[in-house]
Amino acid sequence: MLPEIAAGTLRPPSAIWQDEQLHQILRDGPRAARGRTSQRSQVLDSHHNIAHMHQVQSESTNTVARLEHIVYIQEGSLKEDHPSRLASQHTLASAYRTDGQIKKSVDLLEQVVGVQAYSLAEDHPNRLASQHELACSYRANGQIMKAVLLLEHIVSVQKGSLAEDHPSQLVSQYALAGTYRADGQIKKSVNLLEHVAQVQEASLAEDHPSRLASQHALAIAYRANGQVEKAVHLLEHVVKVHGGTLAEDHPDRLASQQELACTHREKGDVGKAIASLEHIVRVREGNLAENNPDLLTSQHALAIAYEANGQVEKAVTLLEHVVKFREGSLAEDHPDRLASQHALAGAYRANGLAGKAVTLLEYVVQVKKARLAEDHPSRLASLHALAIAYWADGQILKVVPLLEYVVRVQEGSQVEDHPDRLASQHALITTYQATGWLASSRAKGFRQGGELLRTLC
């Protein structure tokens, strides 16, 4: 079964230096214009900075409300291409993405990028920063190819104007590598991250956060490329360096420990993965609120490891706990909430509760249908999982039409050797063989399947 693509993960160390780089650009815009702005504009800039502070502290609801107020006022008082107005719109779009409002983020950033296209030079840092943010939102919305093309453009522009080790160029290359991985272009991702890591090893100290973040990301790419031993070796290095420089409960240190644990799980060292994840959860439980996103993410990862170890009842109990808190604090269509519901459905199925799995996955699929593009990897992953749950629940005639739909969409949106595409094709062929999908059953299945696809897809 395909994994849940949008599964919540710990905020990787890389996100920290990306945000520092991008928000420095944003903060510079209002400051540079301050000598020419009115007192009212200065007040708005102060509110902008407060909202940014809330965003850094992950108070997303507070952030969105403040920024929407600021943008509303600026849109009535400042020109369309005023730097402060564009900076606030940019930051609001980023806050929308953090809050799971991906479509709003895309729409607003497309507006910002459109304005900057006629008002700023091609290589202007603010223009490139907004394009970068738009690419991240495209990726979050499943528009992976759009994200790839935009990031390739940014990297091309920066190569012509920035030094090889310039932080902005390395940020863009890092983001492009991650998007390549999401698009199934794993080798390209590995090659680009190896380049970034090599440049940083020559210019940054061993314990520099940016260098460690790139090594962390490269290890993830190695794992996706089947180079699990390389991934383990690199993550062990990152964890060791973090152990000598960061406190036990530092988010970056825990993030790398968690990634190493997940790599051990994939390698088959499930016992080692569980021991590490139980330690991470204990540390987080000691200093974080019960509904803290990072704690819930670690509990989510631990539940997946329990399931892999055959401790299915433990997995169900822990995922029900995670889902309960995420349903109480996140919007219905928030990616993390949907990811845990998807995972809980998988645990239900593994525990013999196929009916519960079907009910929950049908709900997840309906929510994703309303907010995600048809070819979004997360939406397709849940459709794939639902087909498997139908099989387990004895609803055999629903399985083939649903898998055929998933395969058809993936063939039009993913590269030929994309792991998800290959997994769905394999599942479909296996189902054909297991059911003896003959003409009579095929005709009956298509009649039922047509109604199913109209409902779910």
Assign residue 222 the CATH number of its domain: 1.25.40.10
413 vs 37 pLDDT, higher one: 413
Average pLDDT over residues 296-317: 97
C-alpha separations of 115 from 120, 126, 341, 355, 440 in Å: 8, 12, 39, 51, 58
Using CA atoms, how far apart are residues 167 and 206, in angstroms rounded to an integer? 16
- pLDDT over 80 at 321, yes or no: yes
| Residue 271 within any structural domain of the chain | no
| Residue 295 within any structural domain of the chain | no
In this prediction, residue 157 carries a pLDDT of 97
Listed ranges 67-81, 370-384, 439-453; the one with the highest mean pLDDT: 67-81
The number of residues in the chain equals: 457
451 vs 8 pLDDT, higher one: 451
- pLDDT over 70 at 41, yes or no: no
- pLDDT over 70 at 412, yes or no: yes
Tell me whether residue 65 is exposed, middle or buried, using C-beta atoms within 10 angstroms of its C-beta: 0 to 12, 13 to 18, 19 or more. Answer: middle
Q: Which amino acid is at 289?
A: A
Ranking 67-71, 170-174, 293-297, 411-415 by mean pLDDT, the lowest is: 411-415
- pLDDT over 60 at 29, yes or no: no
Average pLDDT over residues 417-431: 89
Per-residue pLDDT band at 33 (split at 50, 70, 90): very low
Average pLDDT over residues 388-403: 94
Q: Which alpha helices (H) appear in 293-438, and where do they start and end?
A: 293-308, 312-329, 335-350, 354-371, 377-392, 399-413, 419-435
| Residue 262 within any structural domain of the chain | no
Structure tokens given for 185: 């272009």
| Residue 286 within any structural domain of the chain | no
Taking the model in full, what pTM does it have?
0.73
| Residue 147 within any structural domain of the chain | yes
Per-residue pLDDT band at 224 (split at 50, 70, 90): confident
In this prediction, residue 456 carries a pLDDT of 67
Q: Could you report the per-residue pLDDT of 365-389, keeping only the tens digit for each? A: 999 998 888 888 889 999 999 999 9
Nearest partner of 168 among 121, 112, 127, judged by Cα:
127
- pLDDT over 80 at 308, yes or no: yes
Average pLDDT over residues 117-140: 95
Listed ranges 225-234, 311-320, 373-382; the one with the highest mean pLDDT: 311-320
- Boundaries of domain holding 449: 13-227+337-456
In this prediction, residue 32 carries a pLDDT of 41
| Residue 375 within any structural domain of the chain | yes
| Residue 342 within any structural domain of the chain | yes
| Residue 84 within any structural domain of the chain | yes
What share of the chain has pLDDT > 70, as a percent?
82
Q: Which residues of 137-162 are buried (b: 16+ CB within 10 A; e: fewer)?
A: bbbbbbbbebbbebbebbbebbeeeb
In this prediction, residue 54 carries a pLDDT of 47
In this prediction, residue 343 carries a pLDDT of 97
Residues 6+ apart with CB under 8 A from 397: 441, 444, 445, 448, 449
The domain total for the chain is 1
In this prediction, residue 398 carries a pLDDT of 93
Query: What average pLDDT is seen over the chain?
Result: 85
Number of Cβ within 10 Å of residue 193's Cβ equals: 26
